[in-house]
Amino acid sequence: MGTTYLDFLSGGYGVGIGKESIESNVIDSAFIISLLSSNLTDGTTVSDTTTGATYLAFSDAENVQIGTIQPTFYSNGTQAIEMISERNIGGTVYKNGLSLGVDSTGTPVVNFIGDRAKEAWHTVLRPEVLFSGHTNSTVTLLDSAANYEHMKIYYDSLIGGTTPLYGSVCVYNPNGKSVNLFIGEAGANGSDRFPWWKGRDITISGTSITTRTTNRYYDTASSNKTTRTTTAVNNMYIDRVEAW
C-alpha cells in the first residue's frame, strides 16, 4: 500500500500529501498543493489598487484542480481571503466559495462566489433583500417569490395613531400564499384596559405582495372594556422583505 508521506512532485506540480503507490512519484490517494499566481510577478508592489494574488491550488491525484485558497486585493481597497471549491463536469467548471474581507474603511465584507447562490449556508448568512421601504400598498419585489423556500416580511403599524409597533412573519414556500400581518396592543381608557388590534391580509405572488382583496384589513377604531369597533382601515405598513 505504500507509505504516507509529504513530498515535492516532479514536473512543477507542487507538494503531494498522501500514500505512495508502487509506481515512482505517483500518489494513490492525495491532494496536490501548488503555489500559483494571478496577475502578480516578481517585484510587484502590493497596494490598495493591486489586483490578483499568489494562491494555493488544491488538485486531485491526477492534478485536476478542485479548489483554491487565496488572498485577493481589489481596486476599491478591499482585501480578502477567498476559499473556493470547483469541479469540472463535461467541460464546464462549477465553483462555490466564500470571500471574507475588510474594505478600505475597516468594514467587514462577506461575499459568496459560485453557481449555487441560493444554497442554505449562503442565505442563512445573508438573505436576499427583495424590498426595503415603508408602504401600505402594493410591494414590488426585486425577484420572484417562486425562487425561494422562505420569506420573512417585516411590518409596522401606528398604534393609537402615533407610535409605531413592529412585527414580522416568516412564510415557507411563499409564492401563491396568503398571510395575515397582525399587531395587538394592550390599550387603556382611563382605568379601563382593553386589547387594541390591527391587521392586513396579503397575497404573495411572483414579484408582488398585494392586499388580498378589497377591505381585507382592519383597525380597532374605538374600544373600551365593553365595546370593540373594528373598521376597514389599512394601517399596516411593510418595511422589509427578505428571502432565502
Q: What is the pLDDT of residue 136?
A: 94
In the predicted structure, residue 231 carries a pLDDT above the cut 80: yes
pLDDT tens-digit map of 72-102: 777 788 888 888 888 888 888 888 888 899 9
Q: Supply the pLDDT for residue 222.
A: 64
**pLDDT over 90 percentage in the chain:** 28
Helix locations, 59-206, DSSP H: 120-125
Closest CA to 65 of 46, 93, 42: 93
Q: Is the pLDDT higher at 110 or at 131? A: 131
Average pLDDT over residues 1-10: 50
Rounded Cα–Cα distance for residues 89 and 67 (Å):
14
Domain ranges of the chain: 4-116, 128-243
Contact 118, 93 (CB under 8 A): no
Q: What are 156-165's contacts with CB under 8 Å, separation 24+?
A: 156/183, 156/236, 156/237, 156/239, 157/183, 157/198, 157/235, 157/236, 157/237, 158/235, 159/183, 159/185, 159/196, 159/198, 160/185, 160/187, 160/196
Statement: residue 117 has pLDDT above 50: no
pTM over 0.85: no
